Amino acid sequence: MKILKPLFFLFFIWGVLFIAIELFCGLFAGNNYFKLDMVDEKSAKLSFGYFEPNQQKRLLFPGHKPYEATINDLGLRDTGVISSFKNPDEYKQRILCIGDSFTFGLFVDDDKTYPYLLQQELNSTGTLVLNAGIGNTGIKDHWYYLKEKGIQLDPHIVIINFFGNDLDDLRREVPFYEEIKNDAPEKWWVKSNFFRSILGLYVQSKYNRWLSKIDDPRVKNILKEEHGTLEDSLYASWHYHACQSIRDPYADDLAPYWQEHLAYLGQIHRYLSDRGITMIYLIQPELVSVFDQPQNRHEDILINFLEVNQIAYINLIEVFKAHKDNVLELYNGPPRDFHLNEKGNKIVVAEIMKFLDQARKP
């Protein structure tokens, strides 16, 4: 008993100290987090997406400005409307946006993503836009999501996007939807007030470590700057960001991945067509694709398949070529990042609206 009392007192003091530190750090932590909460085995049954429903966070990521991300009650990113599906007949038309980080809207606030902006354009038409985008996914993941969850949202139109790293996603041994199932729960200390209060320092340190691993000295110097010239941005885009499918799309080792990607694309189209659902395929505008390159164009591979199979598409590369003079104003953080910002996403929305208006014509 004499030994237990001092130990109990010691644990009590440490517990009080820990709580005091947590409360104090909470004054500085705010709503800062490193990432959104993903579904676990239990919440997956309640979510139409891969995110834990009903969360709002300010996300910090190495090398980028913080941004606000809200996940609604469906487990999808917010598009500015109450999207509960308790009354599915509330909306005459439902548009489901499936894709990777471009659809999700990585590094931009909720109201700057293209699905959110599309919803604002369609608010008066009784249309619900659903953002089921999630980063680090490819067409295999989109096909799985559509069958397992997306189709339950009873969409009339499904929009899917292509980005250059989609073929790389096919190289992974374990697809994203399997990774989610096997993910270990996030460490408790990652969500602690103490860690979140120093998150800004942590992500900056992580960005510096990431930069130190880049071999090309010019790329490294370019990425140290938050803003760069068009020449620098094109260099970083070509020599660092652009995947092989953009730089050398007809390489022999890519042939089986193109074949697999197009096979999934055909499956998705047939699956939707059999159910009377319209599909729109977006070809996203990587920066180097907007400018004429001596290499073969990757979009030609896609367009040939799309036209032969009569799949509706919007080639945003050609659209963005009309904005060459101010193209950097359309991306979120060049030369560090080439996701679209609000201005770029408004151009995407304008093209989708043109397509929808044309489809309504007799």
The token duo for 324 is 């060459």
Task: Give how many domains the chain has, as a whole number.
Answer: 1
Element (H, E) at 217: helix 217-224
Backbone angles phi, psi at 106, to 5 degrees: -65, 135
Residue type, 185: P
Output the pLDDT for position 345.
Answer: 98
What is the C-alpha to C-alpha distance for residues 362 and 360, in angstroms, rounded to an integer?
Answer: 6
Residue position matching structure tokens 């979009």: 299
Polymer length of the chain: 362
The token duo for 126 is 């009784």
Evaluate whether residue 42 is within a structural domain: yes
Q: Does the reported pTM lie above 0.75? A: yes
Point out the residues of the chain with pLDDT beneath 50: none
Evaluate whether residue 266 is within a structural domain: yes
Backbone angles phi, psi at 99, to 5 degrees: 170, -165
Residue 247 belongs to domain spanning: 32-360
Terminal-to-terminal C-alpha distance of the chain = 88
Cβ–Cβ < 8 Å for 84, 70 = no
Evaluate whether residue 2 is within a structural domain: no
The token duo for 22 is 């947590």
Residue position matching structure tokens 């043109």: 354
SS3 category, 216: coil
Q: How many CB atoms lie within 10 A of CB 84?
A: 11
Evaluate whether residue 149 is within a structural domain: yes
Evaluate whether residue 162 is within a structural domain: yes
Residue position matching structure tokens 């929305």: 349
Evaluate whether residue 343 is within a structural domain: yes
Output the pLDDT for position 51.
Answer: 92
Domain with residue 221: its CATH number is: 3.40.50.1110
Evaluate whether residue 156 is within a structural domain: yes
The whole-angstrom distance between residue 313's C-alpha and the CA centroid of its chain comes to 20
What is the C-alpha to C-alpha distance for residues 228 and 344, in angstroms, rounded to an integer?
Answer: 18
Evaluate whether residue 69 is within a structural domain: yes
